[in-house]
Chain A
């Protein structure tokens, strides 16, 4: 079975919700929709206080090249345009809407019929992705239309679909592959058409045998799509690691997958693309895993963007007494939330509730130079050294040791027997080095 060759760790999988059918979370009474839910420039708000909006209507328009539209996820009245603390922990602008009924924009096809025929051309698909606000739903939220536009001089010969879902706990992609397999594969075909490639490879970790089997059967009806089981290892779902595992190409440091003639999209994204292109449904809801060892009813839900996390927790049986930490995303790379009114955004793949016993870090001890961080690093960096250099402020040396290559997967901090906060210091060093590099460019 394929996997990436260097580094990696095996955190306990804890996929508690792997068998939970995706349910629809009821529309809440009010939502707060942030205007920056993607990497790039925030969208520009185009509604005013008091305006009536429909579900699926654009409320903030894409601004600049790397940006995308934001849609209302509910119908109702704009209550205010104000700031809210989002999943990153920072305050940012959001549109607050009070819900009245659930009236969708007329152009959306709400039937259950599966449409296989792709009528749009390559350019039209890319335009539709922008209009529909599609971003990478794996967590990075990079606007998809940018990724689908192959710049002149570059070529793409294979599309890779990331079904690894290597983060523990999360099961949203797993459930989509099982329950919306056909739509997902049509979505993959649409992406192939947009990129003008004839070949697509879906990589799925072998802990999802049912999904692998199901999709392998379905894929026989689709031209050029193959399913590949992968050995379970974190961070398999990292773009560069997945490319290495599936087609044995190594993306050079500081470059993009297109430099090795490939593009990677996530399972959730492919499904969203299907809905946008075939059903004309913009991205205003997504599958979110709500899970935790103490939750009474963990599960997978279709959640409208802007729904407060508290509503999702309610649906899952209420906040357990022993909750010590709430994480948006996976346990390895997710962000911890400081309150439960944070809105679900496009990048929220899961909400994990950790009991108090698992939510505090252990005391860090001296480094015993065991080199486990080096063998865990999927990029073959030396985390112990990067930490020391950042701690001592030796940023020039940290740059030479390629601190900016770090993708912050957390394997080093996870494995460290002395519980050292390796990644915290590496982040500090990395951001300083990036700032230094920018200043150098400005001076020139």
Chain B
């Protein structure tokens, strides 16, 4: 042996986990939802998803290549996840140029201005989505109705989402029991047969993804369970107080983007807290804010805003909510 020995500090072995594997794990977990939305929304879902992914990855590449002038890291899969999630959060009939603008905001403004992966305070896909919602409110709130492998894109048949039906109906003085006849049954909602954003409609597909993420230990249960749990408790209280003015908890959880938000958006590593205690507080914050926006706010849906608002508290939570250290307060038995 003529060559020198490697000398380094311990540990001398490393686990198999890499950033790329984690990111592609998220992509795999999103596939069931992607397939169901292609089934429900057809060609529109494919166009929107492809545009979103391509433009997100491209913007990341261009910025790294020409502005950062640093090694290109688009293969880590983070831009791919952002692109996929951005597509999941918009209607499947949205024009291509709007998605490109949304992708630009997500990657260039929400992610790269802060230094790229790991440094952004707000969830990039949600920043992009909220920007689109505010800038293009009409296109962002006309929702295609599931039509089964439809070949229609911009001209797809649209209808209101269950949450919009409830919001409008209550404003017009109708009661929940009257409105319930106009919205899909819980089983239909569970399977995704309702209007909504591309990836948020099928609860069943999102839950399959959730199980995959848990089994692969990509995320922990803390955030999704506390988001859904706090929402369930809050909406149950409102529902018990006045069932004619407030929808039941099952409806709140299945309608809109709660599952997509709780499982995939709120659990974004970079923008969520680092320890379990803080994760639960963060999750409950999202659940409660979502209900407040839905019930008393101007928008029918509030998951995106709730997550972004709680994102802002994450640095504070990381600094002040600490895990209980081993040997800190000792109780011996």
Residues of A within 8 A of B332 (CB): 248-250, 260
Establish whether residues A371 and B326, one from each chain, have CB atoms under 8 Å apart when the complex forms: no
Q: What distance in Å separates the Cβ of A41 from its nearest Cβ neighbour in chain B?
A: 25
Residues of B within 8 A of A414 (CB): 11, 13-15
Q: What distance in Å separates the Cβ of B332 from its nearest Cβ neighbour in chain A?
A: 5
- Contact among A168, A337, A424 for B5, CB-based, below 8 A: A337
> Which of B16-24, B126-134, B180-188, B290-298 is the interface stretch?
B16-24
Establish whether residues A240 and B274, one from each chain, have CB atoms under 8 Å apart when the complex forms: no
Residues of A within 8 A of B272 (CB): 369
Say whether, besides A361-B8, A375-B220, A417-B21, A405 and B1 are in contact (CB < 8 Å). Answer: no
Establish whether residues A9 and B15, one from each chain, have CB atoms under 8 Å apart when the complex forms: yes
Flag whether B215 is at the interface (Cβ < 8 A): no
Establish whether residues A334 and B330, one from each chain, have CB atoms under 8 Å apart when the complex forms: no
Flag whether B172 is at the interface (Cβ < 8 A): no
- How distant is the Cα of A161 from the Cα of B119 in the complex, in angstroms? 46
Q: What distance in Å separates the Cβ of B198 from its nearest Cβ neighbour in chain A?
A: 25
Establish whether residues B22 and A334, one from each chain, have CB atoms under 8 Å apart when the complex forms: no
Residues of A within 8 A of B76 (CB): 365
Establish whether residues A240 and B323, one from each chain, have CB atoms under 8 Å apart when the complex forms: no
Residues of A within 8 A of B322 (CB): 382
| Contact-size category for B | 35 or more
- How distant is the Cα of A260 from the Cα of B326 in the complex, in angstroms? 14
- CB 8 Å contact bits of B282-315 with A (1 = contact, 0 = none): 0000000000000000000000000000000000
Complex interface residues of chain A between 306 and 358 (CB less than 8 A to chain B): 319, 321, 323-327, 329, 331-339, 352, 354, 358
A354, closest chain B residue (CB):
B12
- How distant is the Cα of A255 from the Cα of B332 in the complex, in angstroms? 14
Complex interface residues of chain B between 77 and 106 (CB less than 8 A to chain A): 78
Establish whether residues A368 and B117, one from each chain, have CB atoms under 8 Å apart when the complex forms: yes
Say whether, besides A248-B333, A382-B323, A417 and B274 are in contact (CB < 8 Å). Answer: no
Residues of A within 8 A of B22 (CB): 368, 370, 417
Q: What distance in Å separates the Cβ of B98 from its nearest Cβ neighbour in chain A?
A: 29
Residues of B within 8 A of A253 (CB): 325-328
A321, closest chain B residue (CB):
B1
Residues of A within 8 A of B324 (CB): 380
Residues of B within 8 A of A371 (CB): 269, 274-275
Say whether, besides A331-B12, A372-B17, A336 and B5 are in contact (CB < 8 Å). Answer: yes
Residues of A within 8 A of B328 (CB): 252-253
A4, closest chain B residue (CB):
B326
- Contact among A12, A89, A360, A374 for B274, CB-based, below 8 A: A374
Establish whether residues B269 and A325, one from each chain, have CB atoms under 8 Å apart when the complex forms: no
Flag whether A164 is at the interface (Cβ < 8 A): no
Of B10, B318, B323, B332, most buried by chain A (CB within 10 Å of CB) is B10
Residues of B within 8 A of A260 (CB): 330, 332
- Contact among A331, A365, A415, A416 for B73, CB-based, below 8 A: A365
Establish whether residues A250 and B326, one from each chain, have CB atoms under 8 Å apart when the complex forms: yes
Residues of A within 8 A of B241 (CB): none
- Contact among B11, B15, B19 for A365, CB-based, below 8 A: B19
Establish whether residues B330 and A252, one from each chain, have CB atoms under 8 Å apart when the complex forms: yes
Establish whether residues A419 and B270, one from each chain, have CB atoms under 8 Å apart when the complex forms: no
Say whether, besides A323-B5, A368-B269, A413 and B330 are in contact (CB < 8 Å). Answer: no
Residues of A within 8 A of B270 (CB): 368-369
Flag whether B7 is at the interface (Cβ < 8 A): yes
B residues sitting closer than 8 Å to A (CB atoms) are 1, 5-15, 17-19, 21-22, 73, 76, 78, 116-119, 220, 269-270, 272, 274-275, 318, 322-328, 330-333
A residues sitting closer than 8 Å to B (CB atoms) are 6, 9, 11-12, 89, 168, 240, 244, 248-255, 260, 319, 321, 323-327, 329, 331-339, 352, 354, 358-362, 365-372, 374-375, 378-382, 384-385, 402, 405, 408, 410, 413-419, 423-424, 427
A-B contact pairs, 8 of them (CB 8 A): A253-B328, A323-B5, A360-B6, A368-B19, A371-B275, A380-B324, A382-B323, A418-B19
Q: What 4 pairs across the A-B complex have the smallest Cβ distances? A: A410-B11, A253-B327, A379-B326, A366-B118
Given contacts A366-B117, A405-B325, 20 further A-B contacts (CB under 8 A): A249-B333, A321-B1, A336-B5, A337-B7, A338-B7, A361-B14, A365-B76, A366-B119, A374-B274, A378-B326, A380-B323, A380-B325, A380-B326, A382-B274, A405-B327, A414-B11, A415-B15, A415-B17, A417-B15, A423-B10
